[in-house]
Amino acid sequence: AILAFCWIYVRKYQSQRESEVVSTITAIFSLAIALITSALLPVDIFLVSYMKNQNGTFKVIICPFIAFVPLNLPDNKNSTEWEKVKFLFEELGSSHGLAALSFSISSLTLIGMLAAIIYTAYGMSALPLNLIKGTRSAAYERLENTEDIEEVEQHIQTIKSKSKDGRPLPARDRRALKQFEERLRTLRKRERHLEFIENSWWTKFCGALRPLKIIWGIFFIFVALLFVISLFLSNLDKALHSAGIDSGFIIFGANLSNPLNMLLPLLQTVFPLDYILITIIIMYFIFTSMAGIRNIGIWFFWIRLYKIRRGRTRPQALLFLCMILLLIVLHTSYMIYSLAPQYVMYGSQNYLIEVNQCTVTRTYLFLHKFWFFSAAYYFGNWAFLGVFVVGFIVSCCKGKKSVIEGVDEDDSDLSDDEPSAYSM
């Protein structure tokens, strides 16, 4: 199912003229890996929650096939290779291996935090508002486009009338004529796209689903507000009750309750409602990241590198999109920890025995090995909240999107047979 979704998503945005087999396969599998990787956190919490009995003793699973695993060392001819593999596992199991692995994952998570601040924070506000507002009417846009064509044609005729007596046009008029002709070419291309959209069965089908989109948009707004309020209260708790920047703003337990931190322990009583909620939050985080990348595009500082456009996205842009999503998925684990630290650390473990008997999740160990990474994540959460507020205000002030969003002068290299990209 995940591969089918990834194939449909990539094919929906992939350019028909510039598609390549290798890049398409890479994008599909990268997107699938990003979605599958997002399930690691719920699995990690599940394992630490159910690896012990209620009295704190570990559960033991007897595997019958263990009797067929040879316990003796291999022959001497392979002793060198075996020793190397054994040494590798010993190093990974030591504190040095954990520190190196934790530093590598935290470095990539830090890059994912920057991507989440830019794309996910804006996508959380843009996605629900775009669903509620919808797009402009194709018939109304076509009428406006026809008026623009008539106006541009009048300007062209006015400029050309100056050279009827054989006199050459001044350089200023030649530049203006070239600009008007280019504008006319773009408007006629828009006319063809709008005509195709207006008569498409997909447009009529989407119009019938309009109430459902509004309901989904309202639901996503409530989810975004729940997420933002919980993140704000969690960060405020760290600011008030943590030991400061030298400790990475880490706190054990929650002094200020937030909605998610209160809801997850309640859902633990009914298996598997808490894991379903965590999975929904993670998937919402991923899909809003997709929406943010689609709306903003891929930039390098102030330079726009690629646009993510339906049916006309270049292979390089799809690969960048998948790479950004992989990095954002890494940062998702810390975002969930910020919302419910006690739950992410210990799951449902709660024993009346001496301290240090609860097993923490691997996610917590990887993310909090170095205090300076934790401090950077803390300030990144405040930046995330700020970008969300700004993005929400911008999305509210923006009008409805055009039904053929993205058809402009940048599409001059596209052929005229690509209106079918809007049929999906």
Give residues with Cβ within 8 angstroms of 376, minimum separation 6.
110, 113
Same domain for 123 and 268, yes or no, is yes
Asked whether the predicted pLDDT for residue 124 surpasses 70, the reply is: yes
Q: Looking at the domain assignment, is residue 85 inside a domain? A: no
Same domain for 222 and 180, yes or no, is no
pLDDT the model gives residue 62:
47
Asked whether the predicted pLDDT for residue 320 surpasses 80, the reply is: yes
- The total number of structural domains in the chain stands at 2
Structural domain including 347 reads 1-67+105-134+209-402
Q: Looking at the domain assignment, is residue 412 inside a domain? A: no
- How far is Cα 96 from Cα 89, in angstroms, rounded to an integer? 12
Asked whether the predicted pLDDT for residue 417 surpasses 50, the reply is: no
pLDDT the model gives residue 421:
44
Q: Looking at the domain assignment, is residue 410 inside a domain? A: no
Residue 383's closest CA among 127, 113, 105? Answer: 113
pLDDT the model gives residue 358:
59
Same domain for 301 and 345, yes or no, is yes
Same domain for 160 and 119, yes or no, is no
Same domain for 362 and 259, yes or no, is yes
Chain segment 28-69, per-residue pLDDT in tens: 888 788 777 777 777 767 676 666 555 445 555 544 544 454
**What is the distance of C-alpha 108 from the center of its chain?**
15
- How far is Cα 379 from Cα 381, in angstroms, rounded to an integer? 5
pLDDT the model gives residue 299:
81
SS3 for 389? helix
Same domain for 370 and 336, yes or no, is yes
Same domain for 189 and 259, yes or no, is no
Per cent of the chain over pLDDT 70 is 74
Residue 304's beta-bridge partner residues?
299
Chain segment 365-386, per-residue pLDDT in tens: 666 677 788 888 889 889 999 9
pLDDT the model gives residue 419:
46
Q: Looking at the domain assignment, is residue 241 inside a domain? A: yes
For the chain, the average pLDDT equals: 75
Q: Looking at the domain assignment, is residue 74 inside a domain? A: no
Same domain for 50 and 27, yes or no, is yes
Chain segment 180-237, per-residue pLDDT in tens: 888 888 888 888 888 888 777 877 787 788 888 889 889 888 888 888 888 898 888 8
SS3 for 256? coil
Same domain for 226 and 289, yes or no, is yes
Same domain for 286 and 337, yes or no, is yes
Asked whether the predicted pLDDT for residue 154 surpasses 50, the reply is: yes
pLDDT band at 388 (very low <50, low <70, confident <90, very high): very high
Mean pLDDT on 264-271:
75
Asked whether the CA dihedral 164, 170, 176, 178 is positive or negative, the reply is positive
Q: Which of 155-169, 181-195, 334-348 has the lowest mean pLDDT?
A: 334-348
CB 326 within 8 A of CB 289: no
Q: What is the DSSP letter of 400?
A: P
Q: Looking at the domain assignment, is residue 52 inside a domain? A: yes
pLDDT band at 160 (very low <50, low <70, confident <90, very high): confident
Q: Looking at the domain assignment, is residue 78 inside a domain? A: no
Same domain for 145 and 122, yes or no, is no
Same domain for 1 and 149, yes or no, is no
Q: Looking at the domain assignment, is residue 259 inside a domain? A: yes
pLDDT the model gives residue 336:
79
